[in-house]
Amino acid sequence: MRGGAARTPNPLPSPVRAPCAARAPARARARREPHASAARAEPSRAARILRRSPGMTMNFKRYFIRVLHRLQKGPGYTYKELLVWYCDNTNTHGPKRIIREGPKKKVIWFFLTLLFASLVFWQWGILIDTYLSYSVSSSLSIGFKTMKFPAVTVCNASPYKYSKVRHLLKELDELTEAALERILQSKHGATISAPPLNSSETVSQQLDLKLWNQIPLVLIDESDPDHPVIIDLFETDQSGSGTRPNNSSPALSNVTSEVKKHKVAVKLCHHKDIPQCMYWNFTSAAQAVTEWYILQSTSILSKVPLQERIRMGYQPEDMILACLYGAEPCSYRNFTQIYHPDHGNCYIFNWGMDEEALISSNPGAEFGLKLILDISQQDYIPYLTSTAGARLMLHEQKSFPFLKDQGIYAMSGTETSIGVLVDELERMGYPYSDCTMNGSDVPVKNLYNEYNTSYSIQACLRSCFQAQMFENCGCGHYLFPLPEGVNYCNNEDDPDWAYCYSSLRSSIRHRQFCIDSCKETCNDTQYKMTISMADWPSEASEDWIFHILSYERDLSTNVTLDRNGIIKLNIYFQEYNYRTISESAATTIVWLLSSLGGQFGFWMGGSVLCLIEFGEIIIDFLWITIINIISWCKGLKQKRARAQYPDTPPTVSELVEAHTNLGFQHEDTNITPCDEVPPPGALPPEPGTPPPNYDSLRVDPRAGIDSDSDAEAS
């Protein structure tokens, strides 16, 4: 409209009018902040421009929406349609013929496909089980190289000199002599009566039966196998006061059975809780007396300090008379001394603890180790050591020698030549074989670490037995190293130790526990020995040889050595060929994959792609199942919703009215004018709920003016 006043747009009617005091500040803020509202509108325009521009974000969003729609929709087939599609499109032989042939051939091809598929899965199970068994194959290879000379440990068969331990074993020896007399009487079929009035009777009267009462020897008369008679060789009051044996006992006076009907046994008793006894039987009295003497001497010697036991053993300068390695002379100073409970003082050549191991330059006896030893068997303990000779063992450097298990004897009066061959064993570790590299993964604490030696299964087994000995008996056995804070067993402090030790040693359960706990070493070196012997020295040369050796040892012109105590040893490599026995995996992952593919290709004509197709159809089956379950759940939910309204369902207005919040209703129409003052004491009116502050409800006055001007211009 030309020349007229400018028209202003009619404001939109508001459903609720705010009070005057609330509307005035709002209009003032609108006048003061025209630019702030425009600034707030700018980010929305930039966002709209960014959304319209194509880019990586939009493409990724579209792709994600398609993927989500595909996952929600699923394969789009039923089970039957999916199976038909797979049979028609798979590259595996057989399924195509099922849907393309006639009715009869369909049945035939269905059973053939099912049969061959079963064969494939059966063969696959066998192959996978074979692979998971982790079997190994051993290979033997022979090499040639210069090798380290083995460590050589030599010991005397007797752990102590009898002249130095006689005072400790005096009472035990007297008991043994008296017991042997009683045993011999029974073996001859005579009545066990008092010993004759001679020197032995005097010894019997002076016996201290305290040791005997702790671990006695008994005779078992088996004339009547159903009712054996047990006879104590010394019938006492069990007080250990040293009383004379009661020879008037009826049980002793009636022993007239045959020789073969008597057995000698060691009686071991347990006095704690419920007293009980066991009998350690032997077929020979010699074995029984030897084992009984070992038990008693173990109890006595366990209380002797270590340094005193070393002093009572054979010293290196007395035992090692001559030494020669190759062309280089050596002496007892080139040996390392250790104390071994079974053999006393032992001496190790080339142990490698303080210096590098010696290398053998050539094979043959001229390049090995030559030793001359004096075992002095005239000073052996008569009832403890019944074998005369030297005990020796070849082993690796820095390993503890277990001579009782792996050692050999060299006989006195002979020259023993030992040719050595080397076998190197290389085992595979877990899971192919249960072996260990250094024993760190073995649950048993190695008690032989005090010698700074390497791990071995013998050390583990003995450490395990000693741990069980302490756990069950409360003390440690004399033959093995002690754990920290544990004492050796003896008859005074541990009267039941012999019974506990014998029970533990014969227990299969405890032995199996140690076997299961310990492991073999993965890498091991074994020395195979070829032994030959000859008399040495000969009758023609023994006179001058014994004179020279006696003078070199004792500086005496008299002969102090004889054939019963002299041993000569020659230890050398037979050849430099060594054998390596190594393990390798019999089945590898390459073997498994090729075998699986071969069976699949032979029976079904398939490949890896066929397996991928099979995996795809399994995934589609799962999606169809999931979608069906979701649809079933939705249908069930709708049924429950319909069950709430058995009559005509309510309209939308009824539902809205049922859920209307009364706190947000319109205010009363009687609104107090802005100029009217409320009466005193009256409460101010409750403000109504303002309308939402949406940008879409605001009218831009500039847009209205522009539109009017355009209309007038037209």
pLDDT tens sequence across 509-543:
999 999 999 999 999 999 999 999 999 999 899 88
Considering only the C-alpha atoms of the chain, give the largest distance between any 2 of them, rounded to a whole number of Å: 168
Query: How far apart, in whole angstroms, are the C-alpha atoms of residue 571 and residue 576?
Result: 14
- Which of 171-180, 607-616, 695-704 ranks highest by mean pLDDT? 171-180
Given a cut of 50, whether residue 42 has pLDDT beyond it is: no
What's the pLDDT at 300? 92
Given a cut of 60, whether residue 20 has pLDDT beyond it is: no
Q: How confident is the model at residue 251 (pLDDT cuts 50, 70, 90)?
A: very low
127, 605, 606, 607 from 113: Cα distances, Å: 21, 11, 12, 16
Query: How far apart, in whole angstroms, are the C-alpha atoms of residue 516 and residue 512?
Result: 6
Mean pLDDT of the chain: 79
Q: Mean of the pLDDT values across residues 360-389? A: 91
* 463 vs 225, residue with greater confidence: 463
Q: How confident is the model at residue 607 (pLDDT cuts 50, 70, 90)?
A: confident
Q: How confident is the model at residue 36 (pLDDT cuts 50, 70, 90)?
A: very low
**How many residues appear in the chain?**
714
Given a cut of 50, whether residue 317 has pLDDT beyond it is: yes
Given a cut of 90, whether residue 409 has pLDDT beyond it is: yes
Yes or no: say if 92 and 605 are a contact pair by the CB < 8 Å rule: yes
Q: How confident is the model at residue 369 (pLDDT cuts 50, 70, 90)?
A: very high
Phi, psi torsion values for 328, nearest 5 degrees: -100, 130
Q: How confident is the model at residue 249 (pLDDT cuts 50, 70, 90)?
A: very low
What's the pLDDT at 141? 87
End-to-end, the C-alpha distance of the chain in Å comes to 10
What's the pLDDT at 231? 83
What's the pLDDT at 163? 93
What's the pLDDT at 699? 52
Given a cut of 90, whether residue 458 has pLDDT beyond it is: yes
* H-helix segments, 644-662: 652-658
Reported as a single tens digit per residue, the pLDDT across 46-97 is: 445 445 555 667 777 777 777 666 666 656 678 888 888 888 888 888 888 8
Given a cut of 70, whether residue 664 has pLDDT beyond it is: no
What's the pLDDT at 26? 45
Q: How confident is the model at residue 436 (pLDDT cuts 50, 70, 90)?
A: very high
What's the pLDDT at 455? 93
3-class secondary structure, 410? strand
Given a cut of 70, whether residue 1 has pLDDT beyond it is: no
Nearest alpha carbon to residue 228 among 216, 238, 218: 218
pTM score, two decimals?
Answer: 0.69
Yes or no: say if 133 and 286 are a contact pair by the CB < 8 Å rule: no
| C-beta neighbour count of 293 within 10 angstroms | 21
What's the pLDDT at 693? 54
- List of residues 6+ apart from 289 with CB closer than 8 A: 176, 179, 180, 183, 217, 264, 383
* 25 vs 413, residue with greater confidence: 413
What's the pLDDT at 648? 64
Weakest mean pLDDT among 294-308, 329-343, 597-611: 597-611
Yes or no: say if 525 and 422 are a contact pair by the CB < 8 Å rule: yes
Query: How far apart, in whole angstroms, are the C-alpha atoms of residue 478 and residue 115?
Result: 68
Reported as a single tens digit per residue, the pLDDT across 255-302 is: 334 445 678 889 988 877 778 888 888 888 889 999 999 999 999 999
What's the pLDDT at 94? 83
Q: How confident is the model at residue 188 (pLDDT cuts 50, 70, 90)?
A: low
What's the pLDDT at 254? 39
* pLDDT above 70: percentage of residues in the chain: 74
Query: How far apart, in whole angstroms, are the C-alpha atoms of residue 652 and residue 657?
Result: 9
Tokens of 635: 């249908």
